[in-house]
Amino acid sequence: MASLSLHPAAREILKENKELFPNEIPKLPLRRGDLDFKIELEPGAWPPAKPPYRLSYVELEEMKKQLKDYVDRGFIRPSTSPFGAPAFFVKKKDGTFHMVIDYRPLNKVTVKDTFPLPHAEELIETLFGKRWFTKLDLRQFFHQLRIAMGDSYKTAFVTRWGTFKWLVMPFGVSNAPPASIRLITLTMRPALGRCVIIFIDDILVYSRTLAQHVKDVKWVLDLLRANNLYVKIKKCEFFTNSTHFLGFVIDAKGIMPKRLKLELIRDWPDPKDLHELQIFLGAANWVRKFVRGFISIAQPLTKALKKGMKFTWMEEMKTSFCSLKEAIINITSLYIPDLKHPFKIFGDVSEQRNALGGALMQQDPYIGWLRPVAFTSRTLTKEERNYPIREKELLAAIFLLKHWRSYVNETTTVWTDHESLKTFDLTASYAEV
């Protein structure tokens, strides 16, 4: 990161806290008691073990180098464990090798950690009105957590140079994400909801004003120091008015998917079979809340996925495919709402496509206009298609209230263009959903 591009306040803070931004984790992490990483096996589980995978000469040389580095840093040590997961390499974009250990057999017999991951939409809603952001990426966060006493032998992995076990939490074990979230949640608890949101190894500090942001960033760094956690400066963003978080671009105006993701969908080739169609719809579905009438546009494609359907690339599907890509590439940002202010819900029914949907909107106080917070839609069931239009419009209203019930309050207004519903009391209907 070029220091010249940093805000002056950020340069000063980095200078004061440079020990938190080392090139490597300087030492074996301290034990954290109940927060140390535990691996509980299902009753009667037999230690999974496999022989080493065959590697190329280049990979073997890299393996030797990385093993020495991990041993020298105290992260692994030789082991006689009956467990044994094979290791292999994945090449990164920069040409370097990332060692991966195949812990799938171990994961199958591991009792799952149920500590919840944060809900992405709830995190983003916290950012209403915020104009200053600093994103911190924890350096090799998994390796900043020790293995619990007595559990290291379960992490054993096999190589041509023998078996080794981890003293720090390795990548690839199924309970690593919840264990990481637990640690960073407890570390950041004083600041959560006040100036911080977190997701695994990403910490986003947010503030309304520059002066407050200076205080908030210093506070967060103090919390990291108190818990002996380190940050990778190359992946951080300091004192910006726009940030990338959870795959989105976020600023004071709202939230948008990263442009690269949208361009990937724009340039998607025509699917040649059902599998390729499923992959495309999966990618498109990731941004569906940005697209009004998503289901109506995509319906010819989703119908092709029905069980027993033979894949035939018809003109209707081609039109739907192109229309959906165009709708996605032309989306506008969604407004980050003020949860204390009223919402408006606009419903709609498409009889041609047998679908219903709508928009959740809120007035932007800075421009005075209604702005979309989210869109949603669904297809009508076989029975619902026989409803008269009045009941379909009512069904849409109830569906939208149910879908966005976490936003609904006493001042939420549901808008409809169906005259006979304008005086309808939705209270009883909504109370039942």
3-state helix, strand, coil in the chain (%, to 5): 35, 20, 40
Give backbone dihedrals phi and psi of 426, rounded to 5 degrees, phi first: -85, -5
Please name the amino acid found at residue 387: Y
The residues of the chain that CATH labels 3.10.10.10 are 3-248
CATH architecture of 259-329: 2-Layer Sandwich (3.30)
Which residue, 290, 294, 377, 366, is CA-closest to 334?
Answer: 290
pLDDT 10s digit of each residue in the chain, 433 long? Answer: 545 578 899 999 999 999 999 998 888 999 999 999 999 999 999 999 999 999 999 999 999 999 999 999 999 999 999 999 999 999 888 888 889 999 999 999 999 999 998 888 889 999 999 999 999 999 989 999 999 999 999 999 999 999 999 999 999 999 999 999 999 999 999 999 899 999 988 999 999 999 999 999 999 999 999 999 999 999 899 999 999 998 899 998 899 999 888 999 999 999 999 999 999 999 999 999 999 999 999 999 998 888 777 888 999 999 999 999 999 999 989 999 998 899 999 998 888 888 999 999 999 888 889 999 999 999 999 999 999 988 998 999 999 999 999 888 778 888 877 666 666 665 555 554 4
The residues of the chain that CATH labels 3.10.20.370 are 344-431
407-411 long-range CB contacts below 8 Å, 24 or more apart? 407/337, 407/339, 407/343, 407/360, 407/373, 408/343, 409/342, 409/343, 411/342, 411/343
pLDDT of the residue at 35: 95
The rounded distance, in Å, linking the Cα atoms of 3 and 77 is 38
The secondary structure element, H or E, covering residue 248 is: strand 248-251
Q: Does the model's pTM come out above 0.85?
A: yes
Residue by residue, what is the 3-state secondary structure of 131-181?
CEEEEEEECCHHHHCEECCCCHHHHCEEECCEEEEECECCCCCCCHHHHHH
CATH of 3-248, one of 3.20.20.20, 3.10.10.10, 3.20.20.105, 3.40.50.150: 3.10.10.10
Helix spans in 270-388 (H): 274-285, 294-303, 315-329
The secondary structure element, H or E, covering residue 122 is: helix 120-125
- The verdict on domain 344-431 having CATH code 3.40.50.12780 is no
Count of other CB atoms within 10 angstroms of residue 393: 20
The rounded distance, in Å, linking the Cα atoms of 301 and 324 is 10
Beta-strand pair 237-240/157-159: unpaired
Beta-strand pair 413-415/344-350: parallel
The residues of the chain that CATH labels 3.30.70 are 259-329
Record the tokens describing residue 432, joined without a space: 């039942």
pLDDT of the residue at 57: 92
The distance between the two most distant Cα atoms of the chain, rounded to a whole number of Å, is 78
Give buried/exposed letters for 163-195 (b at 16+ CB in 10 A, else e).
bbbbbbbbebbbbbbbbbbbbbeebbeebbeeb
Could you say which DSSP state residue 61 is in? H
